């Protein structure tokens, strides 16, 4: 990301599969030191070992992004390992929805805690404990939102509400930090082929009483390109936003969706 001799340090959440893992792999390939987390310690250690065995400067730990204490411990451990934070990628998230009148309180709160409140908690910790503002014009925050946060997803009210909140938070913080040189942007995937996408199709199949293949066909039919995006394609946009070339891109919510979203 920089011509400086000091490699940037990135935090990535939800990073052992899907978009998060693709982000980690692309960041380390461009010379960034990455400290990442996921819910399951074994998944983190396995991913760290694989990447370290390939010569990449990575490390990580498990973290419950819904917990302020867990988030603070994660960011402090990253600083202890690699130094002050340059880049934050808030990627951790979960699916969840159903017929709105039948959604239990616990599901609503967990989707919002995981997808929205975690972004605030992790960002606050990165700005304070992680000393991200010291990065100045090298500083980057990228939040993985969703086209669902712009245009809504039927039977996905908690998910859509949380992702809309991520977009609003992104734009507000971008304007707050603009004069520091730190940029803040959101990337909004549409349908992406990840483990979470499989769970989403399973949920819709159950709700609609059809096969998962039929759900996939219906979803593909809505996408102008006629296919899901890949995790690597989404990660490509995330990683672009961490580069020097993207220094004047801030307060944006950029779609990676095969034409599904048009604003």
CA-nearest of 12, 25, 45, 17 to 198 is 17
Q: CA neighbours within 13 Å on the CB side: how many for 44?
A: 19
CB atoms within 10 A of CB 194: 21
Residue 103 CA: distances (Å) to CA of 142, 152, 158: 30, 16, 9
- Name the active-site residue from 35, 109, 159, 204: 159
Beta carbons of 138 and 1 less than 8 angstroms apart: yes
159 is catalytic: yes
Gap between the Cα atoms of 188 and 185, Å rounded: 10
Cα separation, 56 vs 37, whole angstroms: 16
If you compute the radius of gyration of the chain from its CA atoms, what whole number of angstroms results?
Answer: 18
* Active-site residue set: 159
């Amino acid at each position: 990301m920089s011509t400086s001799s000091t490699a940037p340090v990135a935090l990535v959440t939800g990073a052992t599969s899907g978009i998060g893992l693709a982000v980690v792999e692309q960041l380390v390939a461009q010379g960034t030191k990455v400290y990442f987390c996921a819910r399951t310690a074994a998944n983190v250690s396995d991913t760290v070992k694989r990447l370290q065995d390939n010569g990449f400067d990575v490390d990580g730990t498990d973290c419950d992004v819904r917990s302020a204490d867990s988030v603070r411990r994660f960011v402090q451990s990253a600083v202890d390992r690699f130094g002050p934070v340059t880049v934050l990628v808030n990627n951790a998230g979960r699916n969840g929805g159903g017929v709105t009148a039948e959604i239990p309180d616990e599901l609503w709160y967990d989707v919002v805690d995981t997808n929205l409140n975690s972004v605030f908690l992790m960002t606050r910790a990165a700005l304070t404990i992680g000393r991200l503002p010291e990065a100045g014009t090298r500083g980057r925050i990228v939040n993985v939102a969703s086209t669902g946060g712009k245009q809504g997803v039927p039977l996905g009210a908690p998910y859509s509400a949380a992702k809309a909140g991520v977009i609003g938070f992104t734009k507000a913080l971008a304007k707050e930090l603009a004069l520091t040189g730190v940029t803040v942007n959101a990337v909004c995937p549409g349908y992406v082929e990840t483990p979470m996408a499989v769970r989403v199709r399973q949920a819709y199949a159950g709700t609609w009483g059809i096969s998962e293949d039929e759900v996939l066909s219906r979803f593909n039919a809505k996408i102008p390109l006629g296919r899901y995006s890949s995790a690597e394609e989404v990660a490509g946009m995330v990683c672009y936003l961490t580069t020097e070339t993207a220094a004047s891109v801030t307060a944006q919510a950029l779609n990676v969706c095969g034409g599904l979203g048009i604003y």
